[in-house]
A = this chain, B = another copy of it.
Amino acid sequence: MTTTRLEAFSDGVLAIAITLLVIEIRPPELHQGETLAHALWAQWPSYVAYLVSFLTIGVIWLNHHRVFEQVIRVDGPLLLLNLNLLLWTGLIPFPTAVVAEHLGGAGEAAQTASALYCGVLLMGLSFGALFAWVTHTDRLLGRLPPPGMVRATRRRFMLGLVVYAAALALSWVSAPLALALCGAMALYYAFDQASVPAEREPDDQQPT
């Protein structure tokens, strides 16, 4: 099993999942006498959910890429851990649609929708297990990254675990707040990823 085709397949699934998010935003149905502008405003939870889910899948893709560019061998458990990650990431459009429909409401529906959403994002952290497996020894990596870096990354996964669990709990207090916390977490990860110094790739200097 080459990493190239595993990456290509994973990239495909992640690219499709991130793009499918848009089909959960439906043109609004107009009630009697309602303006379209009003109806579009009224479905703000759809836009918020699109934004947070887009960022989250984007960050999962970034993480996936960073981990797999160091992997030189794929073994059985890694295959299954990767399939598990794709299973949960590929599921994200569903809770996104549920949140989009119920976040604007109140009471049980908004709380349950938000809890479901946070719960699925929490499972997206099954990426942490994949990372732990890959960095356990240098079986799968060309060269194990410095231990300090591995520890820092694990700490970042732990942080995510705590924050998403907190968001899950927060769902029963305020659903919009819980979603905002998820969005803040995705933003934090995105900027954090973006700050990793880029390396000049040797084979990128030739014309492609």
Task: Determine if B9 and A73 form an interchain contact, defined as CB atoms under 8 angstroms apart.
Answer: no
B12 contacts A15, CB within 8 Å? yes
Q: Roughly how many angstroms separate A112 CA and B50 CA in the complex, as a whole number?
A: 21
Interface residues of A in 103-129 (CB under 8 A from B): 108-109, 112-113, 116
A22 to B198 Cα, complex, angstroms = 34
**Is residue A142 within 8 Å, beta carbon to beta carbon, of the partner chain?**
yes
Across the interface, which residues of B come within 8 angstroms of A37, CB to CB? 108, 112
Bitwise, A1-43 to B at CB < 8 A (1) or not (0) is 1111101110111111111111101110010000111001000
Say if the beta carbon of A196 comes within 8 Å of chain B: yes
Q: Which residues of B contact A203 (CB under 8 A)?
A: 207-208
A98 interface hit (Cβ, 8 Å): yes
**Interface residue count on the A side (C-beta < 8 Å):** 82
Chain A 178-208, CB within 8 Å of chain B: the 1/0 string? 0000000000001101111011111111011
Q: Does A51 contact B (CB under 8 A)?
A: yes
A99 to chain B, nearest CB (A): 9
Q: A177 within 8 Å of B by Cβ?
A: no
**Once bound together, how far apart are the Cα atoms of A18 and B11, in whole Å?**
13
A residues within 8 Å of B by Cβ?
Answer: 1-5, 7-9, 11-23, 25-27, 30, 35-37, 40, 50-51, 54-55, 58, 61-62, 65-66, 69, 72-77, 79-80, 83, 86-87, 90-94, 97-98, 100-102, 108-109, 112-113, 116, 142, 190-191, 193-196, 198-205, 207-208
Nearest first, the 8 closest Cβ-Cβ pairs linking A and B are A76-B194, A12-B15, A16-B19, A36-B109, A36-B112, A27-B98, A37-B112, A25-B94
Q: What would be 26 A-B contacts, judged by CB atoms less than 8 Å apart?
A: A1-B69, A1-B199, A2-B69, A2-B201, A4-B208, A5-B69, A8-B8, A9-B15, A13-B18, A16-B16, A23-B93, A27-B94, A37-B108, A37-B112, A40-B112, A50-B91, A55-B83, A62-B79, A72-B201, A73-B200, A75-B194, A76-B193, A77-B194, A80-B190, A201-B207, A203-B207
